[in-house]
Chains A and B, each alone.
Chain A
């Protein structure tokens, strides 16, 4: 199976200098797979650097649209049976590709996630491994496995971290790709994973596909921490509004979200939750359309999605 390796990037010339050679080498070792850098309107030397240093890499110079839209544009152009999405701060290891592609040969697998290690090779606070979720309080509470032993086995997971995931482009397109509801960033990978489970497909974690991830290194230099937290909180709310179709759980979650706003005063030091709710409210028409679509397309209940995707925990 041929795969297109897509590296999404914005103003990450120095990060590409580390991630692209590793991807090119892994591609060569696996028999030659196209490597594409989807550039999201960079204003640094990224494009010039790539053209000069890696002539074998295809560069898609796209206007600035944000992470999700850039990934969608890149996947639209994929002609291979599989695609691998990487962040520009992810450095792959030799042999990472084949274990991912083997799972995609199964008819019900939508995506497979890599094993993410910190740049120094540890699992401390590593995100995106054996992910699972539970509807608790106002939002979906996500758990990332960080213990070594459970991470030695392939297992189902709620979603594959968008920083290192392989998938079938035809299924990506059937799901509509990353939802622009989550512009500018965060929760789009959780959303597509949850929706894939809802359509009857599976998402897996593959420990043999090891990558090093300097988590959030791009985001931290582009946006202030408070803005990142606010966008993450807003999108967490929108995720609930769009995807939680179970009436009882939905009523309970929204009642908790109403109280959640007061926590800014009750406990302080958290992202301003009322602003997150206001931001979500501005996108309510979009969320309504997305929820209606989920209602039409969903084949599994929320309880089934959570239960089936928690196989690694």
Chain B
């Protein structure tokens, strides 16, 4: 088995105003012994991440490339990962948590405005499971709402006729 690389993984949506959090995460990863830091980003966020100090950014643009990015991360056998959240509730960010889990990083740090803590792989897996179920529930409720709206709106539109053909 190859040795664990002293490379840290930084995961963030790189939203506006997260520059300080990204710098904090980079600092934390280096304190924990990361010799280099890689991140996963889009063509838009990649230059920002590089400018802030990431040594390498794996770019993905669609689902197929995201899969390739995960394969690439696993191949590297990362030592640690840092996840940046938008707020201290650690809500949302299922995509980043899945990526951290699949990367195989042995140590994961959560960084949020005013609250940072380490999280075990077991807790991370539990969080991914809970959020996955929440996402499914939200999608089901969203589907019910949108289906009801679609039926009502389309029926009213059909009944209305029109000056010019805009058949639903």
Contact = CB atoms under 8 A, between A and B. Distances in A.
Interface stretch (B22-30, B36-44, B68-76, B152-160): B152-160
B135 A291 contact: no
Contact of A258 (B94, B145, B164): B145
Which of B93, B131, B149, B159 has the most chain A CB within a 10 Å cutoff? B149
A261 B92 CA distance: 12
Contacts of A268: 85-87, 91-94
Interface string B142-168: 110111111011101101111110111
B146 A291 contact: no
Q: Bin chain A's interface residue count.
A: 35 or more
Contacts of A255: 146
B134 A267 contact: no
B64 interface: no
A289 B125 CA distance: 47
Interface string A247-258: 100110011011
Given A267-B93, A295-B166, A284 B148 contact: yes
Contact of A289 (B149, B156, B163): B156
Contact of A299 (B141, B164, B167): B164
A281 B149 contact: yes
Interface stretch (A153-161, A201-209, A272-280): A272-280
A280 B147 CA distance: 13
A45 interface: no
Contact of B138 (A250, A264, A281, A299): A264
A-side binding surface: helix, strand, loop or mixed? helix
Contacts of B166: 245-246, 295, 298, 301
Interface residues of B, number: 39
The SS class assigned to the B binding surface is: helix
Contact of B162 (A262, A270, A298): A298
B139 interface: yes
A281 B141 CA distance: 12
Interface in B107-145: 131, 134-136, 138-139, 141-143, 145
Contacts of B138: 261-262, 264-265, 274
B94 to A, nearest CB: 5
Contacts of B67: none
Task: With a 10 A CB-CB cut-off, give which of A245, A258, A277, A298 has the most chain B CB atoms.
Answer: A258
Contacts of A30: none
A261 B142 contact: yes
Nearest to B130: A265
Given A245-B157, A281-B148, A288-B156, A267 B164 contact: no
Interface string B90-107: 011111000000000000
A296 B145 contact: no
30 contacts: A246-B166, A250-B168, A254-B147, A254-B150, A257-B146, A258-B139, A260-B142, A261-B142, A261-B145, A262-B135, A262-B138, A264-B138, A265-B94, A266-B92, A267-B93, A268-B86, A268-B87, A268-B91, A268-B94, A269-B13, A269-B86, A274-B142, A277-B142, A287-B153, A288-B156, A291-B156, A291-B160, A295-B156, A298-B166, A301-B166
Interface of A: 241, 245-247, 250-251, 254-255, 257-262, 264-270, 273-274, 277-278, 280-281, 284, 287-289, 291-293, 295-299, 301
Given A255-B146, A261-B138, A267-B95, 7 more contacts: A247-B168, A265-B134, A265-B138, A268-B87, A278-B145, A280-B145, A291-B157
